[in-house]
Structure 1
Amino acid sequence: MIASPPGAVEVAAGPAVATGAISAAAAAFAARAAPIPIGNDPVAVGDALGFLKHGLSREIDQAVDQFLAERLDQALFNPNKALRESALEDLKKETIAELGPRFADRLPYLSKSFEAKVKQRVRGKILDEGMRPDGRKTTEIRQITCEVGVLPRTHGSALFTRGQTQALSIVTLGSIGDKQKLDGLGLEEFKRFMHHYNFPPFSVGEARPLRSPGRREIGHGALAERALLPVVPTEEEFPYTIRLVTEILSSNGSTSMASVCGSSLAMMDAGVPIKSQVAGIAMGLITGDGKVAVLSDIQGVEDALGDMDFKVAGTRTGVTAMQMDMKIKGISIDTMAGAIQQAKDGRFFIMDKMDAAISQPRSAMSQYAPRMLTIQIHPDKIREVIGPGGKMIRKIIEDSGVTSIDIEDDGRVVIGSVNGESAAKAEQIIRDLTGEVEVGKNYKGKVVR
């Protein structure tokens, strides 16, 4: 049973109630539910529980419009993210200080009206004039710089900068035994290629504790890993475990795609024989009044106030990964096709910049990277190399000075070493243990009874 509003006429249910009584009750309830004037603006009475729902006042919107006038464009359209955010925050404070006394009972709505005007202006400027907050056209990409080998002690590194978004990618090469063991429900048990994405608070000008990876770090890292995986060489072609870590040093949109570009450059710097360069770009969308604008290389404000975040990564021959976040119900096929084509043009532009820094994997790996030597033995001889309880393989590692020896079930032996001399020594020991006796070949050993 729902309680009647205070002062309402109670009407019993049933056929015995007279029509006049019902009309009188309805009129009394309507009188109670009529708009009650508060200040200069009516407040509509809400549902039967008495909750009140407030709408943005037209009077407040008009006052905010008049106050902002030319001030909004001066604060909003600035290529520098920090200066733009600071100017907008100052303008918001000025707006509240100026109009607050007139609408003291509506301060929360005054703040919302300001934010609505910012969103409306950004979207309108793009749709009507093709001008974005940083002054770019809809198909224009921010300035790009690419550097490789920025950290000489690592196995490979690259610094990718696009506007005010900057990603530092580092490659570490390990032996096959360094694969990540997966304890999950999937069929895959081990993973030899890993990409980890870190988004520290200082990248957006904040100071807060560093905690464990969140949804953003895990999701962006997985997207970039999926984008890069198709070009990674097989274990037979490159017997290494590859770990990539991308540190976002500065963020103004599209950091996941920046991590793809930086990681591709870093692998080439490390000498990983990837099949081709991989680049990524984030596309945006603004719709309204029957108009549609697709944006290339969106920044943070366009992501927040736009209708779509469409990430596309790939090589010159095809797409390797994509992800779409939408705030509207859907887009037409023509708009989607146009966005994909625009993303392709942008991706090629980015890859031209990347190729200018490094276009092919280095022929020689870093002096600090491990060297892997692969030899094949008969599977029946594996036990001879391992020895009882692993005694023999530990002795080979100790005597030769190699860092690791990994043996696969098919008889493939991968020797990891920091130099070629120790690897050659370990190889000779293994061949002596597993080799077949050949007629005419001299052998040195101790004869025992």
Structure 2
Amino acid sequence: MRGGPTSLEKRVYQTELAGRPLIVEVGQMAQQANGAALVRYGDTVILATATASKEPRQGIDFFPLRVDWEERLYAAGRIPGSFFRREGKPSERAILSGRLTDRPLRPLFPKGYRNEVQIIVTTLSYDDDCSPEIAGIIGASVALGISDIPWNGPVGAVEVGLLDGELVINPTAAQREHSRLHLTVAGTRDAVNMVEAGADQVPEAVILDAIFRGHEEIKHLVEFQERIIAECGKPKAEPELYEPDPAIVEAVRSRYTERLREAINHPDKQAREQAVEEVKKAALEELLAEFPEGELDIQHVLDQVLKEIVRKQILEEQIRPDGRRPDEIRPIHVEVGLLPRAHGSGLFQRGQTQVLTVASLGAPGDRQMLDTLGQIEEFKRYMHHYNFPPYSTGEVAPLRAPSRREIGHGALAERALVPVLPDEMEFPYTIRLVSEVLSSNGSTSMASTCGSTLALMDAGVPIKAPVAGVAM
């Protein structure tokens, strides 16, 4: 699937985004990737590349997309502070930026596509007034769009701030310091497909206006990219999409739909999973006798039927697998002060989801120093860490360094509490929260947010208001 020009056929396209030039260059750099784009936004410069394997990956039931974000401290004229004086593992911001880039891109690949795809965004120059994340999403979209990789983009992205009651597109660093809203929105010409936000108790109507305002800017970015793709894009490769054997589809649907429907409806997660597993086990034993090479197809169709049953039941019958209505919350139980030596602790349980959050208070010198692209040393006085051990889902797995998911969920809960923390002059302590997921049956990140409120209040931190969270 690889290919491209053998000479440096550089083409430059320019538009304006929030009053600053946005320049996209294609054709000169990274020519052996399926697609590549250099994006200049103010003095921020990123290189985005898209590469795909030539053949589908066999034996998997998911789309193997990987988005890596590479921060280079030379982008800010700095030398890394580590012993080896070179970049090591991705920073927390790099991981979060990769997740932010992944979310609007992933839904637009063809269903059943199993080729490995890797997007790499490298920050080459850093301007704090011009978000590298926004440039990176746009660059990744262009790289995919001009490549031969099957993809139904392009997408655009912007940040939206709120200053003195006015919405501001892509606020500068100085404006972000005073903004009551930090919203990133991405989408296609027709719809928004990714929103990430933090806000200082902003009314819902204002946030909704901000999303619509952001989408208007996204439409212009999509039009700009469509011109680039029309002039520079390669013909899209014909994808080899995964399709289960029609005979297996028919056999599973006709014999096991009702059995799965009976198994899925149970208030207890473990009992429900056991009942579903028994149906799946029986289906495999019976159908493998007819289709000896069809194990992956059988499992795929069983999972697909299960999803369809749950979706139809919720939308049409207004009932969830555990018997609740769509607007009904699981029973909630909370406790505080569980740990005698910790400064604060809170246990939050919603149904079978259970999270213990522990608060530690330290001196100002305990702040975390961040090795970032900024010219000024940055510190964090409030940190939230999220741990998701395998026993929380009744599974066995090796314990390793925090995963991307754990870092992302920790940042999500951390962001929710920042607006209600006391000013440093009023409460000059460093604050660390650790959320231990003890049992998981949906939305542990929001349970961590609720547990964090409990732990902070138990520790005597004078927060401005309690914070709770739900997943939608």
Q: TM-score, normalised by structure 1?
A: 0.49
Where is the strand percentage greater, Structure 1 or Structure 2? 2
Between structure 1 and structure 2, the one with the greater Rg is: 1
Where is the helix percentage greater, Structure 1 or Structure 2? 1
